[in-house]
Structure 1
Amino acid sequence: MKLLGPVEIRGLAESLGVRPTKKLGQNFVHDPNTVRRIVAAADLAADDVVLEVGPGLGSLTLALLPACAAVVAVEIDPVLAARLPATAAEHAPELADRLTVVQADAMKVTELPVAPTALVANLPYNVAVPVVLHLLAAVPTLRRVLVMVQAEVADRMAAGPGGRVYGVPSVKIAWYASAKRVATVPRAVFWPVPNVDSALVLLERRDTPDADREAVFAVVDAAFAQRRKTLRAALSGWAGSPAAAEAVLTAAGVDPGARGEQLAVGDFVRIAQRAHTGR
């Protein structure tokens, strides 16, 4: 099967009157070797059902079709969504029936026509983390996630406690999955060329903590709202006062003088649980 290259990508875009927009974070991959690398890194099984968000003109979609049982592509742009089945039929007629296209905002998706087991996508930079977190929450059948995101975002998603870029995305991703950055993707493989490099992040879902997610995430948000403050100070608004925050932290076995970036997801769970059960 011939994958889409620079000539095909630009030709498709021109025929559709599509001009990539910053608002939708559209940077189309036009390098066949890159999409092959993405599919290989996803390590898909023949019976996997892949959820692809933002398929755009279909570069990655075409590479995914032979590697799994089915692809559900969620595309917010109605013009691109309408064209994708025809692109699959033209370039991979024997596999086109594996593709289902859903024209929707991935941030609002709660039900899909089939239950996906893997998310593989080139995500718009501006919504990458919210989309991943939403889909991990909304689609419990997802076991593996491989996404291409801005390199800086990839580092945040995969960071561990104590790291320079460890923050809210790191902790919330860790609630659902283990994460690691697996490859860097040069900017030259995109059209238009972005002003930043990209990277692939692999997430493997694990059992979530036995705790109220919203309560834990509220602690996380408060802890990182003012990064330079100690947890005693940062959580004072959340707890009601610095003294109340200190009491909860002490009961949870966390140093009130520590900072949010020093805590793992399990620490935030204990803090939320102590606040719920009373100091």
Structure 2
Amino acid sequence: MYSLERKKEILKMLNYQDSLSVNYLAEHFHVSKETIRRDLRQLEEAGKATRMHGGIIALPSDPSNQPACSALPSMLIPEPPVKDREMNNTEIKRTICRKAASYIEPGDNVYVDNSSTTIYLPEYISNDIPVTFISNSILFLVEAAKYNKPNLTFICLGGIFKGANLSTHGYITIENAGDYYPNKAFLSCTGITSFRSITDSSIEETTIKKYMIDRSREVFLLADHTKFLQDGQIFLSSFDSVQHVITDTLLDSVDYTFLTNRNINVISTD
């Protein structure tokens, strides 16, 4: 496939997902990442889309991006709604959030992703610790409002609202996030394996997660033991970008030496 055909196909794909990763596109078209980066650079120069770290973002107002087919790429099937995922391993997730909260200090600016694992984090913050949370998760913000803690400040990142996942995503979200440099980020994922590193399942969520990982001084990955037994469809992060993994005691039955060998601090709940 020639470059022109490839770029047309990329624009068609952006009708179904507002962003696409370099890794996915390289695999999809069976070309090198450098070739894809060149294509994306040319699309940006032509005003068709906007490049970002690790991929490209659609321009919703671009009139040339019109659907050409009705089928989603097989690798981009939406993940289950976050409310459905919230019901899985609830007590374990609460325990992980309780442990994670112990690493939050007065004055911290904290990014929290849209995941069913991180939504309980504000519940375990002491009432006398001022903390600012930055998130694109509507569910996280709604849950946080229940605790009525005046010491906590919440910044909601704008963008395209995704009702199924109760989150925002897209170009506006990235633009809003560009105003902040969190000193800590707490996020989850779909899978953690030695072969594929850290993976996720929603390309919209992955886009903002990657961006905030890059902007945060310290990254905490919140993941129960089941995350070590599966892979997501989309690359989220290398191990080099994560300093801590907080997990439950059931991880003892899983080999996680590939993390400790990379000097990642694996923290188990009590």
With normalisation by structure 2, the TM-score equals: 0.40
Structure with the higher strand share, 1 or 2: 2
With normalisation by structure 1, the TM-score equals: 0.39
**Which is higher, the Rg of structure 1 or of structure 2?**
1
